[in-house]
Amino acid sequence: MKNIKLFDSPIKILGGSIIIVEGILLYLVQSDGLVEKQKSWIIIGMISALFLTIIAAVIIELINKRKTSSFVVADTETKKYQYSIFISYPIAGAKNKTEKNEIKDFIIQIEKKLKTWGYKEIFNATTYFDKEHDNQPPAVASKIDLKAVHDSKSFILLYPTKVATSALVELGYALGGDKNILICTTNSKILPFLVRGFNEAFHNVRIIEYDNLEHLSDILEENHSQYLK
């Protein structure tokens, strides 16, 4: 049986306290040692306490939501970024040279589409390391790669097939930086278990499913301003 923590948040503590207070006041009201006027004042106190508790709970919830939402606002709206978007893709999952070239073409087409919609500075790790730094050792490549994630306002992960990939490391790093994150996959069920719930657990993450390049392009064209604000 799952353990239930009764007092692990301010709202729960507040709720528990008011239940105890209301119980004591109710006991006093039902006692025979008080006159009607005293009981009336106790009832008024009970109602007032309940009303104030509701107001306090609402204020606490608003404060918590504001704290949560402030991270992305601070990161994506007040900073200046070198890149508008970082495109991540599991290129290592290609089975052969032909499939690798198809993947590159797919990413290049997406990058071109994004640029036509106004996202000029895009870091495409696949073409960057392939054309200019294809012989970089992991220690050097990782610094360049993750710095580019850090210097990007938004992060897009294209995940068409289930594969172990460094792209998932990039995703985790982007999540820690509170970026606008868009995960594009052919089926959300192929995503790693924890990643499947990112869009519900984190307000700055969205997961969309697509069938092919044209379908993904249509989705992004219609919704990019909302996804990558």
Q: Can you spell out the DSSP letters for 18-82?
A: HHHHHHHHHHHHHSTTS-HHHHHHHHHHHHHHHHHHHHHHHHHHHHHHHHHHHHHHHHHHSS--S
Helix 167-176 × helix 138-150 angle, to 10°: 40
| 57-61, 186-190, 212-216: range with lowest mean pLDDT | 57-61
Task: Kindly tell me if the per-residue pLDDT of 31 is higher than 80.
Answer: no
For residue 20 the two structure tokens come to 């105890």
Q: What is the pLDDT of residue 174?
A: 93
**How do residues 81-137 score in pLDDT, each as one tens digit?**
899 999 998 876 667 778 778 878 888 888 999 999 999 899 987 767 665 555 667
Answer for the pair 157, 171: CB distance below 8 angstroms, yes or no: yes
Residue from 229, 228, 205, 225 nearest 68 by CA: 205
Strands 205-209 and 83-88: unpaired
The pTM (predicted TM-score) of the whole model is 0.63
Please tell me the total number of residues recorded for the chain in this structure.
Answer: 229
Residues 6+ apart with CB under 8 A from 145: 125, 129, 166, 170
**How do residues 146-166 score in pLDDT, each as one tens digit?**
999 999 999 999 998 888 888
Helix, strand, or coil (residue 218): helix
Q: What is the pLDDT of residue 72?
A: 47
Helix, strand, or coil (residue 189): helix
Q: What is the pLDDT of residue 78?
A: 55
CATH architecture assignment, domain 83-227: 3-Layer(aba) Sandwich (3.40)
The more confidently predicted of residues 16 and 100 is 100
Q: Model confidence at 206, in pLDDT bands (50, 70, 90)?
A: very high
DSSP letter (8 states) at residue 166? T
Task: Kindly tell me if the per-residue pLDDT of 1 is higher than 60.
Answer: no
Q: Model confidence at 26, in pLDDT bands (50, 70, 90)?
A: confident
**How do residues 42-84 score in pLDDT, each as one tens digit?**
777 777 777 777 777 777 777 666 554 444 444 455 568 899 9
Q: What is the pLDDT of residue 5?
A: 53
